[in-house]
Amino acid sequence: MLRPGHYHLVGAAGVGMSALAQSLAGAGLTVTGSDRYLDRGDNLPVIEHLRRAGVGFCVQDGSAVTRDTRAVVLSTAIEPDNPDVLAAESQGVPCVHRSVMLANLVAGRRCIAVTGTSGKSTVTGMIGWILDVAGLDPLVVNGAPVLNWADATRIGNYRHGESGLCVIEADESDRSLLNYTPDWGVITNASRDHFGLDETLELFEAFRARVRVGLVSTLHEPRLLEEAVLDVESSGVHIQWGDLDASVPLLGRHNAENALVAAVLCMRLGIEPDVIREALASFRGIARRLERVGTARGVLVVDDYAHNPAKIQATWQALAPHARHLTAIWRPHGFGPLRLMMDDLVETFGAAARPGDQIIVLPVYDVGGTADRSVGAGALVAKLRERGIPAVGVDDVQVLPDIVASRVMAGDVVVTMGARDPHLTDLARAILARIASARG
Given 3.30.420.40, 3.40.50.2300, 3.40.50.12660, 3.40.50.720, which CATH number is that of 6-101?
3.40.50.720
What pLDDT shows up at residue 179?
95
Task: Inform me whether the pLDDT recorded for 440 exceeds 70.
Answer: no
Span 151-190, pLDDT tens digits: 988 999 999 999 999 999 998 888 899 999 999 999 999 8
Among 40-54, 83-97, 150-164, 356-370, the range scoring the smallest mean pLDDT is: 356-370
What does the domain layout of the chain look like in residue ranges? 6-101, 108-281, 291-437
* Percentage of the residues of the chain whose pLDDT score is greater than 90: 82
Span 310-331, pLDDT tens digits: 889 989 999 999 999 999 999 9
Give the orientation angle of helix 309-319 with respect to helix 335-352, to 10 degrees: 30
What is the distance between the alpha carbons of residues 331 and 318, in angstroms, rounded to a whole number? 19
How far are the Cα atoms of 182, 268, 273 from residue 207, in angstroms, in the given order?
9, 20, 28
What pLDDT shows up at residue 368?
67
Q: Classify residue 369 as left (phi > 0), alpha (psi -120 to 50) or beta.
A: left
b/e burial code for range 11-31 (CB count within 10 A of at least 16 → b): bbbbbbbbbbbbbbbbeebbb
* Superfamily classification of domain 108-281: Mur-like, catalytic domain (3.40.1190.10)
Matching CATH topology for 108-281 and 291-437? no
What pLDDT shows up at residue 395?
93
Span 267-285, pLDDT tens digits: 999 999 999 999 999 999 9
Residue 68 has what DSSP assignment?
T
For residue 48, give every residue at least 6 positions away whose Cβ sits within 8 Å of its Cβ, in sequence order, or none: none
State phi, psi for 142 to the nearest 5 degrees. -115, 165
Euclidean distance between the first and the last CA atom of the chain, given in angstroms as a whole number: 61
| 365 SS3 class | coil
Span 109-124, pLDDT tens digits: 999 999 998 899 999 9
Instruction: DSSP for 243-285, please give it.
Output: TEEEEES--SHHHHHHHHHHHHHHHHTT--HHHHHHHHHT---
Bridge partner list, 326 = 413
Q: Diameter of the chain by CA atoms?
A: 64
Q: Classify residue 258 as left (phi > 0), alpha (psi -120 to 50) or beta.
A: alpha
What is the distance between the alpha carbons of residues 35 and 47, in angstroms, rounded to a whole number? 9
Domain 291-437 in CATH 3.40.1380.10? The answer is: no
What pLDDT shows up at residue 46?
93
What is the distance between the alpha carbons of residues 147 and 156, in angstroms, rounded to a whole number? 6
What pLDDT shows up at residue 170?
95
Nearest Cα neighbor of 232 from 338, 310, 321, 312 is 321
What is the distance between the alpha carbons of residues 77 and 98, in angstroms, rounded to a whole number? 11
Mean predicted confidence (pLDDT) in 70-77: 93
* Percentage of the residues of the chain whose pLDDT score is greater than 70: 98
